[in-house]
Structure 1
Amino acid sequence: MVFKEKLIHGKLIKRYKRFLADVELDDGTVVVAHCTNSGTMKSCLENGAEVFLTPVNDPKRKTKFTWEMIKINNDWVGINTGIPNILAYEAILNNEIPGLGVYTTVQREVKFGDSRFDVYAENEDEKCFVEVKNVTLKEGKYALFPDAVTTRGQKHLKTLMQVKKEGMRAVMLYIVQRSDVEVFAPAKEIDPDYAAALKLAVENGVEVVVMKAKIKPEAIRLTNPLPVEI
């Protein structure tokens, strides 16, 4: 995914009210940026760190910038939770995710029951629903999800099990927006119920795919799959 506009560089002053962040731009101007990440952002939040913002030209929006990434440990971490959905759609469309196969139809935001999945794909042989999650939490070599309790995440796993039960392919796709991790695992200490739900989903045929992304101010690209420890 290539950014359509040149990102604007600054330094994080603070994040507050979950969805807002004060940022000092290089010229000294202080602006308010929208933070799409509603989680704790543990391990990717550091006041004074370099950040990049996307300018937003929308008269209806109060904030004129969207916070895209932050530099942690000399590397960029993507914190925009909308990016993984774009990455997943593009990668599945272009057959760039190992094991997901070649699909002739790929759509975003498709309903199943009372849920809406991020990607739906099909070919002559199968139909596949894919739920996408953004991962930024790091602990040692591990990328962990979630960074806060998520009942919505549990609901998605239950619906994926129903998809599988009805004879279709069900995939839980985690996009890790940082490079300094080696293995993916559920964050059992933060949300043990989600971890248990993920284990149950896998036991019932839901596939777990984890892809790592390389974050740069010019573009964000998927690089390689990560091993999974459930």
Structure 2
Amino acid sequence: MRIENPVIEASFIKRLNRFEALVDLNGRETLVHVPNSGRLKELLLPGARVLLEIRERPGRKTPYELEMVYKGDRLISIDSQVPNRLILQSLRDKIIPCFAGYTVIEKEKTFGNSRFDIKMSNESEVCYMEIKGVTLEVNNIAMFPDAPTVRGSKHVKELIEVVKNGMRAVLMFVIQMDGINRFTPNDMMDPEFGSNVRKAVKSGVEVNAYTCSISRNDIALKAKVDVKL
């Protein structure tokens, strides 16, 4: 997924609220939009190197979108819309073999009390997929969530109902960085979410995790990693 707009580097100062922050851009304190409502406490530290995408559009409060953060030498995408775009593109391009057989791919389709990110179907099967972006890493292990998520548990429980109704269900974690050894639920942050994921797997829900290759101007789905439950 190519970033066509200009990308520039800045230094993080502080977060003002969920969607706004201040950075040092060429010696000036500058307002930026943060496209992620998660805590990101291990990433958005004072002095952290960040990459801004310049989006010049009418009505924007600031043209600067905080797209990526350096954690040491590792570049991490924090845009919460990136995982869905990457998976949708990958499904349509048939580059994930286990989903290549679906002929219809739809976004944001409702089942029960939840709206899932993707619905796939062919003449014989229906599959619902929920996608979660992962930005938290400790010792090359990716974890989700970085904050308690009632909504996340609700989606997992609904995926179990999908399976009970004779359809395929997938929980897809997109790790928005490279160099990761494996993925695991963050039980210390949200033990209920981890417990629900394990129940889902026992019920027949598939759990996958993929890393991304990331550069200043490009993000692509890279490799499947082990999921340790």
What corresponds to 2:117 in structure 1?
118
Amino acid at match of 1:2: R
CA drift of 1:177 comes to 0.7
Residues of 2 paired with 1:76 and 1:142: CA distance? 15
Give 3-state SS (helix, strand or coil) of 2:15's partner. strand
**1:77 maps to amino acid:** I
Give matches, 1:78-93, under 5 Å.
Answer: 78-93=77-92
1:95–1:103 CA contact under 8 A, matched in 2: no
1:92-136 deviation per Cα after TM superposition (whole angstroms, max 9, x unaligned): 111222422332111211122221111111122311111100101
The residue correspondences of 1:207-218 to structure 2 (distance < 5 A) are 207-218=206-217
Deviation at 1:3, TM superposition (A): 1.1
CA contact under 8 A between 2:15 and 2:22: conserved in structure 1? yes
* 8 Å Cα contact 2:14/2:46 also seen in 1: yes
Partner of 1:52: 51
Q: How does 1:122-133 map to 2 (within 5 A)?
A: 122-133=121-132
- Alignment length (residue pairs): 229
In structure 1, C-alpha distance between the alignment counterparts of 2:179 and 2:43, rounded to whole Å? 12
1:140-219 alignment to 2 at 5 Å? 140-219=139-218
TM superposition score normalised by structure 2: 0.94
CA contact (8 A) 1:210 1:226 kept: yes
Q: Is the 8 A contact 2:5 2:55 kept in 1?
A: no
Taking the aligned partners of 1:123 and 1:8, their CA distance within structure 2 comes to 43
Which residue is 1:40 aligned to? Answer: 39
User: Against the structure 1 CA distance between its residues 58 and 113, is the aligned structure 2 distance closer, same or farther, given a 3 Å change threshold?
Assistant: farther
Q: Is the 8 A contact 1:138 1:144 kept in 2?
A: yes
CA contact (8 A) 2:39 2:146 kept: yes
**Pairwise CA RMSD of aligned residues?**
1.5
What corresponds to 1:28 in structure 2? 27
Runs of 4+ aligned structure 1 residues displaced above 4 Å come to: none
Distance apart, 1:16 and its partner CA? 2.9
Q: Is the 8 A contact 1:11 1:51 kept in 2?
A: yes
Q: Any stretches of 5+ residues in structure 2 without a counterpart?
A: none
- 1:8 aligned residue: 8
Q: Report the residue type matching 1:201 in the other structure.
A: A
CA distances 1:8-42 after superposition (whole Å, capped 9, x unpaired): 221211223222111122x3333211112222214
Percent sequence identity is: 37
Segments of structure 1 that go 5 or more residues without pairing to the other structure are none
Residue type of the partner of 2:136?
A: L
